A and B are shown apart, each in its own frame.
Chain A
Amino acid sequence: MTGKQTDKILLAHGGGGQLSDDLIRKVFLPKLGNDTLAELGDSAKLDLDSGSICFTTDSYVVKPLFFNGGDIGKLAVCGTINDLAVAGARPAALSLALIIETGFEIALLEKILDSIAAEAKKCNVNIVTGDTKTVEVGAVDGIFINTAGVGVRLEGVELGMDKIAVGDKVIINGTIGDHGMTIISAREDIQFQSELKSDCASLAGLTCQLLETVEGIKFMRDPTRGGLAVTLNDVARASGFSVEINENDLPIDPMVQAAADVLGFDILNIANEGKFITVVSADKAEQCLKICQSHPLGKDANIIGEIVETTDVPMVELKTKIGGKRIVQMPYGRELPRIC
């Protein structure tokens, strides 16, 4: 702990003086410590064994900070690792920047850091550099986190929307909407028969295995905010082809579906944090599926649709359970619970 003076974050914890130093040495380093971070230099020096790296950043402002299946810390590690993973890279290192509201409990901060450390360790990735800022009450909601990540691109792997062709299959590694509905239900304080659980997970293990084993993978993306609807619409727009998915083939947890129905949400628009789609040539789809299904993060994987010729404008269409068809539009951006 930071001494007996305080168990809450003060403005001075971000001021660069003694309290900042205490926080770094007594809270951050013991939890996140590794040789690179321990140098506490202005920049981390990394020795990477590749000429081609991927580099990404993301900020995390989730509310509530703790939810079933994860917390803001785990999310901040998984989210950035997943962005590297679906780009065809093996994550190598992360940065961690925190903006903390004055009065935030240090015990909660430690809990979040434990979670960050555990997830980073699981993924064999170090937090190599970081920053902490503190702001007055009300300037942030508890704590905001930014992580950036670098990863080494797997040799010979070239992913891109431009590789997508008609006939390619679309695979997802499991049930959709779990994270979003967990967060919304927690936020709205809605109880369901069994507790919903976020799918928050780091996907690099599975994506690397797929990319190293299967040739013919064209594209990967994690359908986070806006859910599958956004990701598939992105695929349609950028590739110029249409995407046809089958409602019967979509893996959906019945409890998550029920939660979405109660609030009037379209499950296709709901966020995921441990899912990715793979677009792969038809002849390699089964091989991909088998690899996914034998991995803990892909046991509910399924081929959900395929890339088809565009007849009008590039669009995403859903073949429904009753044999009908409808367009899956790009969602507005904020789902509102309905009245009845």
Chain B
Amino acid sequence: MKNIFIIIAFLVSFLEASQIEWHKSYEDVIKTSTEDQKMIMLFITGEDCKFCAKLKDETFKDPDIIKEITNKYHCVEVTKDEDTYPKKFTAKGVPTIYFLTPKQEVIDYTLGYYDAEEFGYILSAAQRRYKKIKDTK
């Protein structure tokens, strides 16, 4: 019986780390981020956006990216001109991704598709900037 629990726990932890967990709404992500002070990744997509799909199907499925995002970000996906999120986060094209502090200050943003290696650099740079901001406060 004990072994079964261990296997289930292992499988659950494996499943958790195998994909990015998306919050249901912008409001929801702000609430959670305020509680644990993790950064927010606001992913703005559009209808029939092939590079949004490519980003989700390739970059966001990379194990290193999943790990980095799971550990350091709360994520929410919104559709441009459809979902409710602050208008100040404009998207001149899609995919646009904003990296925000829990207080919704913009740390960084990206536009377009990036492969996993490039996206990893962007995540690291955003984290460095966030740390710098936290250290100076």
Q: Does chain A bind chain B?
A: no
Q: Residues on B close to A: CB < 8 A?
A: none
Q: Residues on A close to B: CB < 8 A?
A: none
